[in-house]
Chains A and B, each alone.
Chain A
Amino acid sequence: MIHLLDCKVLSNDEVAPGHRRLVLDGKAIAEDTCAGQFCMLESSPGLQPFLRRPMSIERFGGDSFSVLYKIVGEGTRLLGRIQPGDTVNVQGPLGNGFSIPKEFKRYILVGGGIGIAPLPGLAQALIRETGTPPEVILAARSRDILLCQEDFTRMNCPVFLVTDDGSAGMHGFASNALEARKPDKYTLVYTCGPMIMMGAVHRICMENGSRCQASLEANMACGDGVCMGCVVETTLQEEFRRMVRVCHEGPVFDSRDIRWNTGTPAHD
């Protein structure tokens, strides 16, 4: 069920340079969330910025939930100033999260930068459903912004680090690290991160006969499937499915359905 709630801020701490975790009191949202769903946050009670900000729900359960965010624009800058005890209006949980088909032998999570946010929750769900901690590839530009590493090690997930500058783990991109893990046709890959990274992850999966679920990001106005603003182009033939809404048909898609070389959504 979708809720519209004023949530009390429990904490809003920096987790890496320019990155924060906002923990909110909101039992109804925490209870109804599945891994991979998102929420829409008001970054300011006024008219500026006008639109809510879509954010992956990171941790959820009990009475609270959290979002991880990177400060990039006006909305996230305002969110960064929010203090414990303040309230934030939240709409959620929204969209379709990850699905966990049982026929695979290996599950590999590939998160890039802030895109790691929905993956700890997914790892937890995979352990519950399959009994085995999934392999995790954690990618970032450099060592200081590799997020959530401790969440995965606590769940006994094998974690493979990869950085663009080689400051931690493998020197290269997420797709290089995935290739090194030799995914096969019994492997399901889950990915969330920059479009260019997910496109490369998709390509490696196709080359190796693996399946891939990708969680997309887009600028959104409503988050409810109404404004038609957050669409991406698909490879599907039917006229009315050539464009799908990230908020409503997604944010998680079978990577084969997405047209990866065009229509890269802008990040805000």
Chain B
Amino acid sequence: MTEPSLHINLGGLAMKNPVTVASGTFGYGSEYGHYFDVSLLGAVTVKSLSLKPRPGNRPPRISETPAGMLNAIGLQNVGIDVYLKEKLPYLREKNCTIIANIYGYSPEEYAELAQRLEKEGGADALEANLSCPNVHDAKNTCGPALVAQSPQRVKEYTETIRAATSLPLYIKLSPNVADIREPALAAQEGGADAVALINTLLGMNIDVETRKPCLSNIVGGLSGPAIRPVAVKMVWDAARVLNIPVLGMGGIYTADDAIQFLLAGATAVAVGCASFRRPDAALQVIRGMRDYCIRHGIEDIQKLTGALRLQ
């Protein structure tokens, strides 16, 4: 058969294939340039950027768990200035499609990050991280800890960022909610072009010999193949009520995992901490998805989105 088309469009961003990487698991792209040509990815999603550099949480920050890991990094990052000056040139030179993940302490900070990234050509799309479980919002003295846990705040944040940029805007949501459809619909109402889900699940690991928590932050975010079924289910829930596309992620390790997300309703997927274990995991996922299309006679990968057979 002819070569299958892997092209997709994620809320206004044309991608040559449906595979990006999860923010925080791929640095700023160049780190994985040793292992493969990162421009082969549908997009590179960079580590969360904040207005100022952040040192992050105290160690220990990671703890291994069954088929996964907990992290409490605390968004350590170089800040937007260093990103634009030192990290962006590599990605542009490689002709990568760039999704910039942004993190702020207020809607206005997100808006400022969005404006600067658009003006200075720092991104082709934005992913607003409203769901990091490892940093605390000092101004938020009541209500849920994460913006993504309050549909009202998701809508307000999304509206403010939306007004600041014409770049495709994705809202990254948290699985630590009772019903993922509520924040997903709130992001859509606020003007998002897509939702990205899921961020990590809150978890805890204890060293029984010392009786101490394995993370200095006590709790952290769980990722890895262990969380994949939860993520697929949340994509399934959200995609059925949304008119905007879903960027699905959570525990993708193989092409079959990625296909599950498409069948559940995702338009694109992100490979996360699998890259820690296999630096070329995202590339193998792309190759495997192409093979799946050939094996199943699918000419256009977009046909797989939401193509779950219920009988």
Contacts and interface: CB of A to CB of B under 8 A. Distances in A.
A266 interface: yes
Contacts of A231: 56, 59, 61, 76
B63 interface: yes
A51 B279 contact: no
A103 interface: no
B64 A219 contact: yes
A229 B31 contact: no
Given A48-B67, A51-B69, A239-B55, A221 B60 contact: no
Nearest to A218: B59
A179 B277 CA distance: 42
Contact of B34 (A2, A47, A229): A2
Interface string B221-258: 00011000000000000000000000000000100000
B279 A227 contact: no
Given A229-B73, A239-B53, A240-B55, A221 B62 contact: yes
Interface string A215-244: 000111110111111111100000110110
A243 B32 contact: no
Nearest to A229: B62
Contacts of B275: 222, 226
B103 interface: no
A221 B278 CA distance: 11
A91 interface: yes
A263 interface: yes
Contacts of B71: 221, 227, 229
Interface in A76-100: 91
Nearest to B253: A47
B277 A229 contact: no
Interface stretch (B21-29, B107-115, B189-197): B21-29
Interface majority SS on A: helix, strand, loop or mixed?
loop
Interface bin, chain B: 35 or more
A28 to B, nearest CB: 12
Contacts of A2: 34-35
B288 interface: no
B66 interface: yes
B59 A47 contact: no
Contacts of A228: 24, 56, 61, 73, 76
Residue picked from B24, B56, B216, B225, most chain A C-beta under 10 Å = B56
A266 B276 contact: no
A4 interface: yes
Interface in B56-107: 56, 58-69, 71, 73, 76, 78-79, 82
B124 interface: no
Given A219-B62, A240-B55, A243-B55, A225 B67 contact: no
A77 B134 CA distance: 32
Given A229-B71, A229-B73, A50 B225 contact: yes
Nearest to A226: B27
B85 to A, nearest CB: 13
Interface in B35-69: 35, 47, 52-53, 55-56, 58-69
Given A1-B34, A221-B69, A239-B53, 5 more contacts: A2-B35, A47-B253, A50-B68, A51-B276, A226-B27
**10 tightest CB-CB pairs across the interface, nearest first?**
A229-B62, A222-B276, A226-B27, A240-B53, A221-B276, A2-B34, A47-B67, A242-B55, A228-B76, A228-B73
8 contacts: A42-B277, A47-B225, A221-B273, A227-B25, A227-B71, A228-B61, A239-B53, A240-B82
